[in-house]
Amino acid sequence: MVEHPLAAFMTMAVIAIALALPLLLNVFLQNTRTATANWNQVFDISVYLDKKAPGTRVQALAKQLRSRADVAAVRVITADEALLQFRRASGFGNALDALRDNPLPDTLVVTPALGASTPAGTEGLRRAIAATADVQAVQIDTEWVQRLYTMLDILRRIIWLTGALLGLGVVLVVGNTIRLDILNRRAEIEVMKLVGATDGFARRPFLYSGVWYGLGGGLLALILVAVAVGMLAKPVETLAGLYGSQFRLSGLGLDLGAAVLGVSIGLGWFGSWLAATRHIRAIEPT
């Protein structure tokens, strides 16, 4: 390892790339979760009343809903208010003037109580409201959020899968490098066995090499991830700013970084142990 620094570095680089790939995916996943975390909180439920319902019905319904335990707040948007808002926000003012009647219904915006803001709780509330008289439609915009979380869950599994496969790759790469090291030092191992070395004694330096390969590869992987996150941080911040968000890209963090080093050292050790145990046993003095 010391005699061939370039070869050792190349082995470490291969390990680093294999480890960096799932780590980068993980950084992407974690950041997506952070960015969408508050979306999982309270969802307002929009309740559209039937156009044929009497004008006083909306206030009565609002009062009725406010008395429910699973409702935190109810905001009333009458059809007139809605039209006014729409006229101001949409820029279709003139086109709206052409309409004889207000096409918009009275609307209630219901905020579920915190305890009821689980998907099941919200769904129960939605059904209860939908069953009420004069309610035309009830809408919760949770479906796409749930789809997003399902996708993130799939991505998380993909990361574990690639991580496991690439971890196996690291074991094989280290194993192969150690195998070549051992073949290069065949004569030395023979001499050591002749003067009474056990397989374990002859194996020890190769296990140290494996640990160094793992440590070097792990550190390189962390550097790769840090560089990638650094390169993405600025554009992501700009993008978040465009959406009026304070979101900032975060890297691996200290805990995960330490875990990565631990795992890569472990993989290096294991790869060298497999190769050294097998190949040193095969070397016998003649």
Partner 1 sequence: MIRFDQVHKRYANGREALAGVSFTIADGEMTFLTGHSGAGKSSILKLIALIERPTRGQVFVGNQNTAAIKPRGIPQFRRQLGVVFQDHKLLHDRPIADNVALPLIIAGVPKREIDKRVRAALDQVGLLGKEKNRPLELSAGEQQRVGIARSIVGKPKLLIADEPTGNLDPDLALEIIQLFKRFNDVGVTVVIATHDVQLIDRCGARRIGFREGRVAAPAGTAASDLGA
Q: What residues line the site for partner 1 (CB under 8 A)?
A: 187-188, 190-198, 201, 284-286
DSSP state, 98? T
Quick one: 147 or 186, whose CB is closer to partner 1?
A: 186
For residue 83, give Cα distances in angstroms to 91, 95, 166, 178: 12, 12, 58, 75
Give burial (CB, 10 Å; 0-12/13-18/19+) of 272.
buried
Quick one: 2 or 89, whose CB is closer to partner 1?
A: 2
Both structure tokens of 42: 């309270």
CB 233 within 8 A of CB 248: yes
Quick one: 57 or 185, whose CB is closer to partner 1?
A: 185
∠ at Cα 276 (271, 278), nearest 5°?
Answer: 105
Quick one: 131 or 195, whose CB is closer to partner 1?
A: 195
Other beta carbons within 10 angstroms of residue 151's beta carbon come to 11
Residues 6 or more apart in contact with residue 192 via CB below 8 angstroms: 201, 202
CA 165 to chain centre: 19
- Smallest distance, Å, CB 184 to partner 1? 11
Quick one: 156 or 185, whose CB is closer to partner 1?
A: 185
- Smallest distance, Å, CB 281 to partner 1? 9
Largest CA distance in the chain: 106
∠ at Cα 144 (30, 134), nearest 5°?
Answer: 145
Other beta carbons within 10 angstroms of residue 284's beta carbon come to 10
Spatial separation of the C-alpha atoms in residues 205 and 122, rounded to whole Å: 62
Quick one: 62 or 192, whose CB is closer to partner 1?
A: 192
DSSP SS3 for 77: strand
- Smallest distance, Å, CB 271 to partner 1? 25
- Smallest distance, Å, CB 191 to partner 1? 5
Quick one: 127 or 204, whose CB is closer to partner 1?
A: 204
Quick one: 151 or 191, whose CB is closer to partner 1?
A: 191
Spatial separation of the C-alpha atoms in residues 65 and 82, rounded to whole Å: 20
- Smallest distance, Å, CB 178 to partner 1? 18
- Smallest distance, Å, CB 209 to partner 1? 15
- Smallest distance, Å, CB 195 to partner 1? 4
Other beta carbons within 10 angstroms of residue 15's beta carbon come to 31
